Amino acid sequence: MRAWLLAALLLSPLILEAADHAFYRRFMGSLNRQATYLQRCLAEGVDVLIHDGQYTDLEYLDHVGWGHSSINDTIEFATRAEVGRVVLFHPLDDQILQQPERKPVTLRLSRAQRVIGMPVTLTECQQVFTRLDLPFSTQAVGQDTHLIVTPPSWRFDIQIEEDLIEEVARMVGYNNLPQTPPLAPITAKIRAEAQRSPFAVRRALASLGYQETINFSFVEERWEHELAGNPSPIKLLNPIASQMSVMRSSLIGSLLQVLRFNAARKAPRVRVFELGRVFLRDASVKSTDSTVEGFDQPMRIAGLVGGSADALQWGRKEQGVDFFDAKGDVEALLAPLKAEFAPGTHPAMHPGRCAQVVLDGKVIGHVGELHPKWRQSYELASAPVVFELALDAVLARPVPEFKPVAKFQAVQRDIAVVVADSVTHAALMAAVWAAPTSGLLRDAQLFDVYRPKLAKDVVAADGATDRSLAVRLTLNSDEATLTEEQIETAVKAVLAQGLRTPDIYSEGTTKVGTAQMGDAVVKALR
**Quick check: is 96 in a domain?**
no
Instruction: Give residue-wise pLDDT tens across range 424-483.
Output: 777 777 777 777 676 777 888 888 888 877 655 545 555 456 788 888 888 777 777 776
Pairing of β 144-149 and β 105-108: antiparallel
**Quick check: is 65 in a domain?**
yes
Co-location of 270 and 353 in the same domain: yes
Q: CA 257, 260, 263 angle in degrees (round to 5)?
A: 150
Checking if the pLDDT of 10 tops 60, the result is: no
Co-location of 432 and 334 in the same domain: no
Comparing 48-52, 61-65, 204-208, 241-245, the range with the smallest average pLDDT is 61-65
Instruction: Give residue-wise pLDDT tens across range 389-403.
Output: 999 999 988 888 888
> Could you tell me the CATH number of the domain that includes residue 464?
3.30.70.380
Residue 494: burial class (beta carbons within 10 Å; 0-12, 13-18, 19+): buried
Half-sphere exposure of 370 (CA within 13 A, CB side): 28
Express as a percent the part of the chain with pLDDT over 90.
Answer: 28
Co-location of 76 and 118 in the same domain: no
Predicted TM-score (pTM) of the model is: 0.56
Q: List Cβ neighbours of 149 (8 Å cut-off, separation of 6 or more).
A: 104, 105, 106, 107, 129, 134, 135, 136, 158, 164
Boundaries of domain holding 378: 198-395
Co-location of 45 and 171 in the same domain: no
**Quick check: is 280 in a domain?**
yes
How far is 53 from 46, CA to CA, in rounded Å? Answer: 18
Co-location of 255 and 349 in the same domain: yes
Co-location of 261 and 371 in the same domain: yes
In whole angstroms, how large is the CA radius of gyration of the chain? 47
**Quick check: is 232 in a domain?**
yes
**Quick check: is 404 in a domain?**
no
Name which residue leads in pLDDT, 111 or 75: 111
> Could you tell me the CATH number of the domain that includes residue 164?
3.30.56.10
Instruction: Give residue-wise pLDDT tens across range 60-90.
Output: 777 666 667 777 777 777 777 777 787 777 6
Phi, psi of 205 (to 5 degrees): -70, -35
Buried b (16+ CB within 10 A) or exposed e, 398-417: eeeeeeeeeeeeebeeebeb
User: Among the residues of 398-509, which ranges form H helices?
Assistant: 425-434, 484-496
Give Cα separations from 322 to 189, 192, 325, 326, 327 (angstroms).
42, 36, 6, 7, 9
Are 451 and 428 in contact, with CB atoms under 8 Å apart?
A: no
Co-location of 59 and 141 in the same domain: no
Q: What is the structure's pLDDT at 465?
A: 65
Highest mean pLDDT range out of 34-38, 189-193, 279-283? 279-283
Comparing 9-18, 118-127, 137-146, the range with the smallest average pLDDT is 9-18
How far is 111 from 166, CA to CA, in rounded Å? Answer: 12
